Amino acid sequence: MKQGFYTVIENKQIADSTYLIRLSGDNSETGRPGTFVNIRLEGFYLRRPLSVCDSSSDTLTLIYKVVGEGTEALAATPAGAMLDLLTGLGNGYDTTVLNNNSRPLLVGGGCGSPPLYLLAKTLIRAGVPVVIILGFNRQSEVFFEEEFRALGADVTITTADGSHGRRGFVTDAMGDIKYDYIFACGPEPMLRAVYERSGNIPGQFSFEERMACGFGVCMGCSCRTKYGPRRICRDGPVLAKEEIIW
């Protein structure tokens, strides 16, 4: 974990209630894909945790949905503003379990898709082919379809109302794909459906929970697992499939 100040380079709407913010700063410790940052916002006491969509040594890209007053304030933050961030939070996805013969499937739901971008990029760079299913409610919520394709991923989009891509849920598209490992991030009902649909295939699932500190001391975000209580912010947000209790 590291505390640092970042400058907003751009902050723009990319889909319904969905924004992309690009920040510049010393970003040497954001860690592996699936980690998150905790952002301090003027006028709010608690920081707001957001997953990392993409990062380099000096830039950070986050995609977030406006869901309340905090994210509304973030959406109103102009380019040039400075933000106080805690970075490199959480465990992230462990990609060392894969090799060049692995056939991972990535499944993202709505604003749970962003961390899969850096994951896909990391896997593709390591020579692992990436197949990804991204689920949304409707066309106006879809984002990053082309960006994922540009990485070289095989992308399927599903929308619940059929207004874009394949009609239905992400699990409806899973039957057509051969895979031996699964990475998922999204709302809990989606995660559970993906968990069940993927049967005995191992994987890693990224969870979300309301949290205060983001670095493992307040115990606000704990969840139960087969191996005992885990802090989503520090022992997670990524849990191994075999430890999950629904």
Footprint of other proteins (CB under 8 A): 1, 3, 40, 44-47, 70, 86, 209-213, 215-224, 229, 234
Pull the structure tokens for residue 230.
């885990």
Whether residue 62 contacts residue 50, with contact meaning beta carbons closer than 8 Å, is answered with yes
**Closest approach of other proteins to the CB of residue 3, in Å:** 7
- Whole-angstrom distance, CA of residue 132 vs CA of residue 123: 12
**Closest approach of other proteins to the CB of residue 231, in Å:** 9
Whichever of 87 and 122 has its CB closer to other proteins, that residue is: 87
Per-position DSSP letters for 188-201, written without gaps between them: HHHHHHHHHHTTT-
Pull the structure tokens for residue 220.
């606000």
Whichever of 47 and 121 has its CB closer to other proteins, that residue is: 47
**Closest approach of other proteins to the CB of residue 204, in Å:** 21
**Closest approach of other proteins to the CB of residue 149, in Å:** 34
Residues linked to residue 225 through DSSP beta bridges, in sequence order = 228, 244
Whichever of 179 and 215 has its CB closer to other proteins, that residue is: 215
Whichever of 168 and 220 has its CB closer to other proteins, that residue is: 220
- Whole-angstrom distance, CA of residue 188 vs CA of residue 210: 13
